[in-house]
Amino acid sequence: MTRASEIVVVGGGVIGCAVAYYAAKRGLRVTLIDQPRRGRATSASAGGLWPLGESIGLGCGVIFYKAQLEQGKVAEAGGPSQLPRAFLDFALQSKALFPTLAGELRETGGLDIELERTSLLFVMYDEADEAFARPLWQNCPCGRSLTEWVTPEELGRTEPAVTRAARGALRFNGDDQLNPYRLADAFRASARTLGAKLLPHTEVRNICVAKGRVIAVETAAQRIPCDAMVNAAGAWAPEIGRMAGIDIPVLPVRGQIVATETLPEVLSACISTTDCYLAQKRHGEIIIGSTTEETGFDVGVTPRALKALTAGAIRAIPFLEQVNVKRAWAGLRPGTPDELPILGSVEGVAGYYNACGHFRTGILNAPLTGVLLSELLSGAPLSFPLEPFLLSRFGAHRDTGASRVGRAR
Amino acid sequence: MPRTVIIDLSSHREILWAAEETAGAIRADQLIVASGAYERSVPFPGWTLPGVMTAGGAQRLIKTLQVRPGRRALITGTGPLLLVVANQLRAVGTEVVAVLEAGRHPRWPQFLVKARGEWGLLKDAFEYWRGLRRAGIPLRFNHTVFEAHGASAVEAVTYGPVDPATWTPIRSQAEQVEVDLLVVGFGLVPNVELTTLGGCDHRYALELGGWVPERDACMETSIPGLFAVGDGAGIRGAAVASLEGRVAGITAAEHAGLLPRAEADRRRAPFLARLESLLRVRAVLDGMSRIRPGLSELATPGTIVCRCEEVALGEVQMALAAGARDLQAVKLLTRLGMGPCQGRNCAPAMRSYLSHATGRTAAEVGRINPRPPVKPVRLGALARMTRAMPADDPFQATIREALS
Ligand SMILES: Cc1cc2nc3c(=O)[nH]c(=O)nc-3n(C[C@H](O)[C@H](O)[C@H](O)COP(=O)(O)OP(=O)(O)OC[C@H]3O[C@@H](n4cnc5c(N)ncnc54)[C@H](O)[C@@H]3O)c2cc1C
Ligand SMILES: Cc1cc2nc3c(=O)[nH]c(=O)nc-3n(C[C@H](O)[C@H](O)[C@H](O)COP(=O)(O)OP(=O)(O)OC[C@H]3O[C@@H](n4cnc5c(N)ncnc54)[C@H](O)[C@@H]3O)c2cc1C
């Protein structure tokens, strides 16, 4: 592998910013181009860093599973499916980068990402919840050391705001949180300090490929010659892929989310139930997420989702009934058919790299994605095997004009 | 439905309403939004001190709560409302030391020619002006507040002349006066949150107070069946608002098949004619008190510009230095506009500030996108949401009442 001399990153969400940062840190010449689109995922996100919870289907996973059960799409089979081991390892390795990264970003970019140690609690209401949680506790893929069975009494002591009707909880230590747009901002500001060029409010219109190589990226106003480009356009990645003749199976998956007014500190852990998840942020608001819907690029909020999320939140934390909603919004997760991100090179188009399809864990997985892409771009050895995440896992991917993308969950 | 707020509007004209205990959704074929306006905030050093209040706030204290808001007052801002408040304050025994109008002196002869046929609109203003004269309250044109001073409440105010064209403060000629009340009224800003959420096209029109929905002559927005009228579609006063309401109502009835086209035309005609005549006069009035960019120079780095999140101007300046070029970027970097008011108070002033500082147009500086709920609502009310109308349906009751 060779070192790219001129790199363009398309898309300035958390992923594009992370790639630009790590590339600039390696001394690569990089230009980050972003046109803000309604529903971009990073500014909609909850900011949970839940490698364990997410890989076994908590957070959005368990809510999604319940919705599928109700629609009869899956047979009752003991809870949401677990993601492959490679995902958990990737997420754990990415998660481990945060403490050092927080310091680096503060020093280089002058911004605090508001990283907090919280743990994630799966709060159980009934036998079905317990039946789902018990095997996870006994043989969690992460090993027993990071999980903890919490009795109702202990739960009442450590999280007095949580309902007394709970039958206890399963705690995942090491599942933490931060402020997601601060993370993107801090990556961007630090990349800039390290010499990256930023083109905000600029839309990428075309990618020039000649003799099987990327040679330039075009915006309305200019043509930027390059020998490598990174597709980090989130839910819009298929648009960018098509410009290079590549079919990317990414679909927008809407997530609606609600934030309360600012409250005094009432939660110390992030909470996940079969109805919703809750995380109190540094500034005091509690974020209540989230739906998982395939509704195209519509970024509206729906009465049905508002009702389900608020009812779920009140069930978990009864006093919220009297609390005001500050805001509700929706974002578009870049979903893929197997829920794994799409990373790395594509056969037949030299200089083209994917960094997309991060679905519901793009915040968590941004650092390792950035590290890996910067390694690819500089021709350095990789710190994590890329095979499970390559586009080629889906089979044919060169755009034939009529091909259909796979269905994301 | 009294005591009920609309918290969201989708682009298919589905509204989400909320009351104290419950909430619900209604899909309307014809929908008229008449959401009014809110007062424009202009940040200057000391503007958050107790004793500094908006013109509307002062009126509420006097009229609704029957409270005298202060002993000795200075009134500053622009527009005829300042004169109204001056008279009201005087009537409750507050000494008004002066009214500072940032705009220029109206050139009466020229003005009167344009106002032909619409004397009513001027009569009130003239009455208020006479009231001021009789009480010996000086009205100073092209003057405005520079700073409010005080430890825990207003004790004194620095003010002075502004450049007539730009309203840039001329600090070398500043004066100081001791007061315990400073009333500030820089006009109104259309409340376009619902039309924005509803997906209507908007344009920026400084003379109408800011962003306004695009409409055709019958008040229909770019979303078919969605009408916008009154101050919420551009600040033009009560008379225009009620005429627009009539035109929209007739047209909605026509769309719904309740009025034949010819009959609708016949009913609309007199209101449309009256509107045209009124708008001619308003254009002159609006020109005088149109907000000017020099006001952005009042705030200093230490001045709070977003009260909800306590963001100071200095932080906005840092965000600019870090590359932010629009309101959305400033919001994400500073939390400006992230509080409960959703930027209602800070966005108009910061829009002019960013335009002034970056040389970009208001449209380029952009907006802070409204998010539901646009009015406060409890989680409990949303959790009890029903598709149907509430059991004792006040909406149906109102209709029954209107029909009986
Ligand atoms: C409600 C919700 C909650 C979530 N919670 C979590 C969580 O707790 N933890 C977690 O890890 N993840 C979470 N996620 C997922 C996470 O937010 C996403 O995986 C992540 O933000 C994806 O980042 P991205 O940079 O790929 O996409 P985006 O943030 O969408 O960025 C893509 C960017 O590319 C730009 N773009 C598109 N087309 C073009 C073009 N032609 N030219 C230039 N620019 C273009 C877009 O405007 C956008 O700015 C959540 C997502 C949602 C919606
Ligand atoms: C302090 C003050 C003094 C004024 N003095 C004069 C004067 O002397 N002469 C003159 O001609 N004009 C005056 N005006 C202007 C005049 O009041 C307006 O032009 C007129 O009221 C506009 O009517 P409207 O129906 O468009 O809006 P409004 O009368 O403001 O009515 C809007 C209504 O919509 C409601 N609303 C808004 N959002 C929602 C929501 N989400 N859900 C439910 N309800 C909602 C509001 O609560 C309000 O009741 C004054 C305005 C103010 C603020």
For residue A193, give the chain B residue with the closest CA.
B322
Measured from the Cα of A362, ligand 1's closest atom is 19
Give the pLDDT of residue A41: 97
- Would you state the torsion angle of the CA atoms of residues B2, B5, B10, B13, taken in this order, to the nearest 10 degrees? 20
Return the biggest CA–CA distance within chain A.
Answer: 67
Residue in the block written with tokens 């009231």: B131
Over residues A64-84, the pLDDT tens digits come to: 666 666 667 666 555 666 788
Q: Given a cut of 90, is residue B249 above it in pLDDT?
A: yes
Tokens of A248: 């990317």
Cβ <8 Å between B385 and A306: yes
Tokens of B277: 């005549």
Q: A187, A14 in Cβ contact below 8 A?
A: yes
Please tell me the distance between residue A182's alpha carbon and the centre of ligand 1 in angstroms. Answer: 13
Ligand nearest to C-alpha A240: 1
Q: Is A189 on the interface with B (CB under 8 A)?
A: yes
Task: Name the residue with higher pLDDT: A311 or A63.
Answer: A311
Mean pLDDT on B236-247:
94
Over residues B328-358, the pLDDT tens digits come to: 889 988 889 988 888 999 999 999 999 999 9
Query: Quick one: angle between helices B313-321 and B327-334, nearest 10?
Result: 110
Half-sphere exposure of A91 (CA within 13 A, CB side): 30
Ligand 2: lining residues by beta carbon, under 6 Å:
B 5-6, 34-37, 55-56, 59, 81, 84, 188, 191, 194, 230-232, 237-238, 241, 374-375
Cβ <8 Å between A314 and B8: no
CB atoms under 10 Å from CB of A200, counted, come to: 16
Ligand nearest to C-alpha A334: 1
Structural domains present in chain B = 1-29+379-404 (no CATH), 52-185 (3.50.50.60), 195-289 (no CATH), 301-365 (1.10.10.1100)
Q: Given a cut of 60, is residue A398 above it in pLDDT?
A: no
| Sign of the dihedral defined by the CA atoms of residues A148, A151, A152, A156, in that order | negative
Task: Quickly state the pLDDT bin for B391 (edges 50, 70, 90).
Answer: very low
Give the pLDDT of residue A7: 98
Q: What percent of chain A has pLDDT above 90?
A: 80
Which residue in the set B16, B326, B332 is minimally distant from A43, CB to CB? B332
Task: Quickly state the pLDDT bin for A61 (edges 50, 70, 90).
Answer: low
Over residues A244-257, the pLDDT tens digits come to: 999 999 999 999 99
Please tell me the distance between residue A26's alpha carbon and the centre of ligand 1 in angstroms. Answer: 24
Task: Name the residue with higher pLDDT: A132 or A240.
Answer: A240
Beta partners for residue A296, in sequence order: none
Residues contacting residue A156 through CB under 8 Å, at least 6 positions apart: A162, A164
Residues in A touching B377 (Cβ below 8 Å): 324-325
Which residue in the set B23, B378, B385 is minimally distant from A321, CB to CB? B378
CA angle A296, A302, A303 (to 5 degrees): 160
Ligand 1: lining residues by beta carbon, under 6 Å:
A 10-16, 33-37, 40-42, 44-48, 203-204, 232-236, 239-240, 255, 257, 289-290, 331, 333-334, 356, 358-364
Closest approach of A306 to chain B, Cα-based (Å)? 7
Task: Name the residue with higher pLDDT: B39 or A399.
Answer: B39
Burial class (CB within 10 angstroms; exposed 0-12, middle 13-18, buried 19+) of A95: buried
Cis ω before B373 (30° cut-off from 0): yes
Tokens of B108: 């009466």
Query: Quick one: angle between helices B119-135 and B237-255, nearest 10?
Result: 150
CB atoms under 10 Å from CB of A407, counted, come to: 11
Please tell me the distance between residue B170's alpha carbon and the centre of ligand 2 in angstroms. Answer: 34
Please tell me the distance between residue B143's alpha carbon and the centre of ligand 1 in angstroms. Answer: 49
Three-state secondary-structure class, residue A131: helix
Which residue in the set A200, A307, A327 is minimally distant from B371, CB to CB? A327
Q: How far apart are CA A355 and CA A369, in angstroms?
A: 7
Q: Given a cut of 50, is residue A406 above it in pLDDT?
A: no
Amino acid at A172: F
Q: Best mutation site among A8, A37, A297 for ligand 1, i.e. most ligand atoms within 8 A of its Cβ? A: A37
Mean pLDDT on B239-253:
96
Closest approach of A88 to chain B, Cα-based (Å)? 31
Which residue in the set B328, B333, B383 is minimally distant from A36, CB to CB? B328
Please tell me the distance between residue B286's alpha carbon and the centre of ligand 2 in angstroms. Answer: 17
Q: Report CA-CA distances (Å) from B87 to A65, B40, B93, B95, B134.
A: 66, 21, 10, 10, 10
Its ipTM equals 0.89
Question: What average pLDDT does the structure give for chain B?
Answer: 90
Which of A325-334, B76-85, B182-191, B246-255 is least confident? B76-85
Cβ <8 Å between B380 and A313: no
Tokens of B158: 């620095």
Measured from the Cα of B236, ligand 2's closest atom is 19
Task: Name the residue with higher pLDDT: B80 or A365.
Answer: A365
Which of A85-89, A343-347, A366-370, B322-326 is least confident? B322-326
Helix ranges, B100-236 (H)? 108-114, 119-135, 193-197
Using alpha carbons, select from B385, B15, B25 the residue that is nearest to residue A307.
B385
Q: Given a cut of 70, is residue B198 above it in pLDDT?
A: yes
Cβ <8 Å between A198 and B376: no
Using alpha carbons, select from B51, B103, B43 the residue that is nearest to residue B347.
B43
Give the pLDDT of residue B389: 47
Cβ <8 Å between A311 and B371: no
Size of interface A-B (CB pairs under 8 A): 77
Q: Is B363 on the interface with A (CB under 8 A)?
A: no
Give the pLDDT of residue A201: 85
Q: Given a cut of 70, is residue A189 above it in pLDDT?
A: yes
Query: Quick one: angle between helices A180-193 and A85-109, nearest 10?
Result: 60
Q: What percent of chain B has pLDDT above 70?
A: 92
Question: What average pLDDT does the structure give for chain A?
Answer: 91
Q: How far apart are CA A163 and CA A222, in angstroms?
A: 57
Q: Do you know the residue count of chain A?
A: 409
Over residues B81-125, the pLDDT tens digits come to: 899 999 999 999 999 999 999 998 876 656 666 665 565 666 777
Give the pLDDT of residue B329: 86
Closest approach of A359 to chain B, Cα-based (Å)? 22
Helix ranges, B136-234 (H)? 193-197
Q: Given a cut of 90, is residue A305 above it in pLDDT?
A: yes
Q: Is B326 on the interface with A (CB under 8 A)?
A: yes
Which residue in the set A200, A283, A325 is minimally distant from B373, CB to CB? A325
Residues in A touching B323 (Cβ below 8 Å): 192, 198, 200
Beta partners for residue B15, in sequence order: B9, B26
